[in-house]
Structure 1
């Protein structure tokens, strides 16, 4: 008799993935938010290679073309900018720089902050005090003012923007991780691992980090929206990403002088920022419950009752 158990995926993993997808499908707002974010990510990945030349092509005869006028082609469905470039193509191309800055800053801040938080929460008091005083120093400076000063000294560019935004967000992850670790390290399974002789780093990696990860993922999702808004604010002030690179915040800044006669230059990138931020906030609310074993029963019960 042939044993078919090896050919099938583990039931627990399959059921866990199916449960998450079912919970996402039942929460219509979270499901729509996930679809919107997937479309934005696809635009960020494929847009510059497909529409990069069209987004940079100038046509002074089409300056400030009004939206929904298809006489100049499908690319001008959202109108044209002050140099006759199609707004739709520029919005799609600008998604890459906007997402790159936000994702890079969040990933860097998450890695550094979580690492320092794990060390500060698990190791001795002296190490914790040194790390926490470092976080206090960073938090003592207003984040926007710190970003303005650093970008003025180093110059506006995508790497510098990622660096300065990440530095201002590190204390958020550091403090959250440390607070979680202080509670988790007192649990019975961690004490059992210590008694069995496991090393500190093995306990942190195998027992503490998996418990802390859902909280960090939820915060990172919310922080992604905050960092994107911060980048847009800096670009709007003129110290963010500079041409020929484009972001949604820079497009809003470039459209500001034309608000009276070409409102669409600032409206469409602003709408993209609002939609992305709203989708991230709605999805983070779902993730906060779905990744928490103490609360996810609410979503599972809703999925069961709807079937």
Structure 2
């Protein structure tokens, strides 16, 4: 007696990347934001190698050169500043500094704030309440005012700028992680791990932290735009990165005195700041929609409307 096995034609299940890309294609605004951010990241990563020292090389013959001029090299396509330095090259180099400072500040605040939030949420000892009071004190001051006071006292530098930005954004991750831990520590898998003799450190690091991390990553994507605006404001006021280094905010500050005669000096870096923060907000809203099953139907509606 022979058994006949039916022929099957298994199809490989689409991976997570393909699913996310399919959802991204259904939202054209989010797709445009993702493409723009990809170009900005590529320019910040490889652009300084391409332009070389053009961003800092003086060219007095090209002082206040108007944009869209085809009589000079391609780096002068967006014009030149008051010292003849090409704005396009400075935008590329400034993107590396701006995104680098923002990424360091967001990563530091997420790491330290998330760790403190895990401790404050799981433990009920005295240092848990001390951590909460620390977050309350930091949030009681306006973040920009606190950054101005600290940078004016310690002096402007890249290290101090990253530390100040990280401290001002840390309470957001601390409170979010603590709220998540307060709910997770009452679940059955935590009680089971505790009954099996697992130490508190193992429970927090092995069972709770992996569930809190996606929420912190989502918040960091939203907070990235806020940190870019804060860094640009501090650089605009002269308390950010110092010459000869520069960021987009410092470029806007250099061109504020020439808005009536050479508007392009401040316009292009201001436009870069606006488009980058707008793209980050659009992409974070799209990610929140994809992550929420109750809101994912919006992308299905967009697909039907596109047809």
User: TM-score of the superposition, structure 1-length normalised?
Assistant: 0.90
Match of 1:272 in 2: 272
Q: Which residue of 2 aligns with 1:128?
A: 128
Number of the residue aligned with 1:200: 200
Alpha-carbon distance in 2 for matches of 1:197, 1:303 = 50
- Displacement of 1:23 in angstroms is 1.6
Whole-Å Cα distance in 2 between the matches of residues 148 and 24 of structure 1?
A: 39
Cα distance in structure 1, aligned partners of 2:209 and 2:256: 46
Structure 1 residue aligned with 2:221: 221
- Does structure 1 residue 169 correspond to structure 2 residue 169? yes
Aligned-partner SS, 1:71: coil
| Secondary structure, aligned partner of 1:56 | coil
Alpha-carbon offset, residue 225 of structure 1:
0.4
Q: Distance in 1 between matches of 2:75 and 2:36?
A: 21
Equivalent position of 1:298 in the other structure: 297
1:278 CA displacement: 0.5
Gaps of at least 5 residues in structure 2 are 1-11
Paired residues, what number? 295
In structure 1, C-alpha distance between the alignment counterparts of 2:140 and 2:300, rounded to whole Å: 44
- Secondary structure at the residue paired with 2:238? coil
The 3 A distance-change label for structure 1 pair 32 and 116 is same
Is the CA contact 1:215–1:288 (under 8 Å) kept in the aligned structure 2?
no
Residues 27 and 299, structure 2, Cα contact 8 Å, conserved in 1 = no
Extract unaligned runs of 5+ from structure 1: 1-10
CA deviation vs aligned residue, 1:90-136 (integer Å, no higher than 9, x gap): 10111011001100000000000000001100111533211101111
Taking the TM superposition and a 5 Å limit, the aligned residue runs for 1:34-113 are: 34-113=34-113
- Helix, strand or coil for the counterpart of 1:70? coil
| Displacement of 1:296 | 6.4
Helix, strand or coil at the partner of 2:198 = coil
**Which structure has the highest helix share of the two?**
1
Aligned to 1:242: 242
Q: Indicate how the Cα distance of structure 1 residues 110 and 188 shifts in structure 2: closer, same or farther if over 3 A, else same.
A: same
CA distance in 2, matches of 1:205, 1:79: 52
Q: Which portions of structure 1, spanning 4 or more consecutive aligned residues, are displaced by more than 6 angstroms?
A: 303-307
Deviation (angstroms), 1:295? 3.9
Distance in 1 of aligned mates of 2:299 and 2:16: 11
Cα pair 1:102 1:228 within 8 Å, conserved: yes
State the distance in 2 between where 1:134 and 1:106 align: 19
User: Is the contact between residue 214 and residue 288 of structure 1 (CA under 8 Å) also seen in structure 2?
Assistant: no
Contact kept? 2:26, 2:299, Cα under 8 Å: no
Query: Deviation digits for residues 59-96 of structure 1, max 9, x if unmatched?
Result: 11111011111112221111110001111111011101
What is the aligned-residue RMSD (CA, Å)?
2.0
